[in-house]
A and B are shown apart, each in its own frame.
Chain A
Amino acid sequence: MKRYLRNPVAVLGAALVLAVLGMGLAAPLLFPGDPLGLAGRPLQWPGANPRFPLGTDPSGRDIMAQIFHGARISLLIGFVATLVATAIGIAIGALAGFYGGWVDTVLMRLTEAFQTLPNFLLLLVLVAVFGSHINTVTVAIGLVSWPPVARLTRAEFLTLRTREFVQAARVQGLSDLHLMLREVLPNALPPVIVYASVVMAVAILLESALAFLQLSDPNVPSWGNLIGLGRNVLRVEWYVSAIPGVAILLTILGVSLVGQGLNDALNPRIGK
């Protein structure tokens, strides 16, 4: 923790993520109405009307309110999708790495099957089949993001399972479950946690990309939806797309910096 705080870039990342989190928390207080409700004349430039500091979109909705409420959606998607992806990834990677042999072969071929499909295409298929409710979109993003987590976990387990302390626990007669969860996993976790920040950033981007194609849930005020709406008026009222674009940029930057900071803090070799 101390090492993390000594790193100014990592602190900046944490500040960005906390700011987005704060926006999400403050949204219902600052903008109690429906952010998707009609608020005023459409396409007002930012600053033109003091009621709408960031202007209005083509449907006359307050962009500022959408940005604040969108923060909740983006973070929600980010966290839940990352949780789904790391849970699946760790489970598959742990089993493959710990047991090796045919278990490893089967699970890794499965992982490769997922990896060879471009994950955005797979996401489009999943959304097309299961609908574009925000819950299905989030789970679908998690489902297409786990293979790298699985590979990373497997690699860690492969090297750790032959270490003497794991063998010592084996000689003690402890069960495989104990070996995996108590002995190996705590030692395998740091790089996986660091990688989770990458998954989170990619999850937020994937949702935005979906929304840009107007395939995400249109009934939630997500940043991607807003960018999608701005697409039609991009040449004149470019701010409609640019403002949520900057929000996405800063959020992902923050998440990535936190990941890098964690990497440096958790890796004792770089620390000194």
Chain B
Amino acid sequence: MTLLALERLTVALPAGADRPHALVDVSLTLDAGEILCVVGESGSGKSITATTIMGLMAPGVRVAAGRVMFEGTDLARLPAEALPRLRGPRIAMVFQEPMTALNPLMMVGDQLAEMWRTHTDLPARDIAARARAALAEVALPDPDGALRAYPHELSGGQRQRVMIAMALALEPALLICDEPTTALDVTTQAQILRLIRELQSRRGTAVLFITHDFGVVAEIADRVIVMQQGLVVEQGAAAQVLGAPAHDYTRRLLAAVPRLTAPAPRAISAEPVLEITGLSKTYRPAGLFRRRRETRALDGVTLTLRRGATLGVVGESGSGKSTLARCAVGLLPFDAGTIRIEGRPLPGARQAAAHCVQMVFQDPYASLNPRRRVGDQVAQRPIAAGTGRDAARAQAAELFALVGLDPAALVRFPHEFSGGQRQRIGIARALALRPKLIVCDEPVSALDVSIQAQVINLLDDLQEEFDLTYVFIAHDLSVVRHISDRVAVMYLGKIVEVGDRVSLYEHPMHPYTHALLSAVPVPDPDKEHARERILLTGDVPSPLNPPPACRFHTRCWKAQSLCTQVEPPLVEVQPGHEVACHFPEERVIV
């Protein structure tokens, strides 16, 4: 039975937008009890599809033609006051950003109870009981505590569970999920996807699932719609679209997805460029009257990286990987340990350190000064270091050509570039000082998949050309596999496993590495359903109060009393492969 049908839907954007229509002639159907994934890159119109169905379009955006048929009524023609009666009881939505989707000043229980208070006449006691049951159903560890918690007291994954509980509170016929796992860690993403799938099959809810990630599609979708620039370019059953894509664009997107496969290992020189020993960093909030809560972000991290090699550092949020990056470039002072670059300690003076190590930042939109010309931002440091203005300009133009940008674009401002182009500017800026070492802090996580591949290839080429050494931070094991020679896995400020790429991916020893590898969704439904999944329970514990001894024991299925008493040291199990676990065990995941 068809529940929702978009019929030749065309949605117009306000005048002055980059294109006249957000959606052109989009038709799709969704049956009861089905999960339909809408996939596309940014600007494909996938989110506008969701907001149009919900009647939540931004001002100026309007339906120009076509119908949005839901249970026999055309939502696009419905008077404005009729929509709220549908939103909640019949159609519900889960948003991308669990951090901002809940009211920070209301207790979770009250926000959840509002659903019934607004839409039903149930007595207060029944509502309280239902709210508790709803939280229990989404598998929150402590439903009674969660009812009285404020949103900031919950983790991102827990908040997303609350959002799902709210969305499903009134048993809607249709659930729209707009990238509900994009802001979450991979292990949490795996939990949330499983939860949505379970609830969906238990209740027979139809789900319209919007995502940019083909791995997620393979995991959850019955059918798939691929969108590009407001057009539906391909649709069909998940196995068919992913297995035998018919449209060029789909093929390109699938080819760009980083997989858990990698090129052959290469020979690396023996000369160390970066040596980190016993690095520790504790954040101490300042203030006279505030309670002092210390966060141990890095705890005795030791790493060595050789010339021309790339070290991938992987971990969930709170693992300390960004702190490590910021310490390594001298942005953050550290408490203990040493950082040596080419045998010499990292200079304390900013000017001297800049010539040793540079950084490529995560967010290409925030890492360029919006009010200054991009050429000045690339050339400013050589000029400050004494290079002549013209020479620095010429060098900037060369760098632009090198990273694949038009040197004539030097005089433009950052907002005139796309995300991928900005990241190239960021790379050109890092190269301007000819550093030996470049720390890349999640340089592609804010980019579309097809752009990600381009940027990673560029980094690869530059490494070869200039004999660069990279530290590559990522939250996802699939991204680093392609580019890394060595990989370090971090958990709550400690390295739990480090090894050469082949060794670590093919013979992972630490249970946390197993879980991370297993949580990466694979864009192939057959493999996806065939392979063994390890689902971690719960969230990363707060770094304010890490578990004693082995920090992973609270989520580890192998934990025994030894793990809660004695901290496992990092031990070499094979040449160049170290693990910090009392019960290491090889397990084939990929």
Contacts and interface: CB of A to CB of B under 8 A. Distances in A.
Interface of A, secondary structure class, is: helix
Contacts, number: 71
Given A167-B361, A178-B384, A173 B366 contact: no
B358 A172 contact: yes
B363 A164 contact: yes
Given A172-B354, A173-B433, A165 B366 contact: yes
Interface string A72-101: 000000000000000000000000000001
Contacts of B385: 173
Given A171-B358, A173-B433, A164 B371 contact: no
Contacts of B281: none
Residue of A165, A166, A167, A187 with most chain B CB atoms under a 10 A cut-off: A165
Contacts of B377: 169
A142 B17 CA distance: 45
Nearest to B16: A272
Nearest to B363: A164
25 contacts: A164-B361, A164-B362, A164-B363, A164-B366, A165-B367, A165-B368, A166-B369, A167-B331, A167-B361, A167-B367, A168-B367, A168-B429, A169-B369, A171-B329, A171-B358, A171-B359, A172-B358, A172-B433, A173-B350, A173-B352, A173-B353, A173-B354, A173-B384, A186-B372, A187-B371
A170 interface: yes
A79 B357 CA distance: 47
B426 interface: yes
Nearest to A168: B367
A155 B330 CA distance: 25
Nearest to B382: A172
A116 B385 CA distance: 45
A172 B380 contact: yes
A163 interface: yes
Interface residues on A, range: 10 to 19
Contacts of B555: none
Contacts of A163: 366
B152 interface: no
A166 B351 CA distance: 15
Given A101-B286, A168-B361, 18 more contacts: A164-B361, A164-B366, A165-B369, A168-B367, A169-B380, A170-B331, A171-B331, A171-B359, A172-B380, A172-B429, A173-B351, A173-B354, A173-B381, A173-B433, A175-B351, A178-B380, A182-B380, A187-B370
Interface in B331-389: 331, 350-355, 357-359, 361-363, 366-372, 377, 380-381, 384-385
A182 B370 CA distance: 11
A165 B381 CA distance: 14
B384 A174 contact: yes
A182 B368 CA distance: 12
Interface of B: 286, 329-331, 350-355, 357-359, 361-363, 366-372, 377, 380-381, 384-385, 426, 429, 432-433
B381 A172 contact: yes
B372 A182 contact: yes
A92 B355 CA distance: 32
Contacts of B353: 173
Interface string A166-205: 1111111111001000110011000000000000000000
B355 A187 contact: no
Nearest to A100: B286
A175 B384 contact: yes
A191 to B, nearest CB: 14
A167 to B, nearest CB: 6
B381 A174 contact: yes
Interface in A180-236: 182-183, 186-187
Contacts of A101: 286
Contacts of B350: 170, 173-175
B257 to A, nearest CB: 27
| A-B pairs with lowest CB-CB distance, top 8 | A173-B354, A164-B367, A172-B381, A164-B366, A173-B351, A186-B371, A165-B369, A171-B359
Contacts of A183: 369, 372
Nearest to A163: B366
Contacts of B368: 165, 168
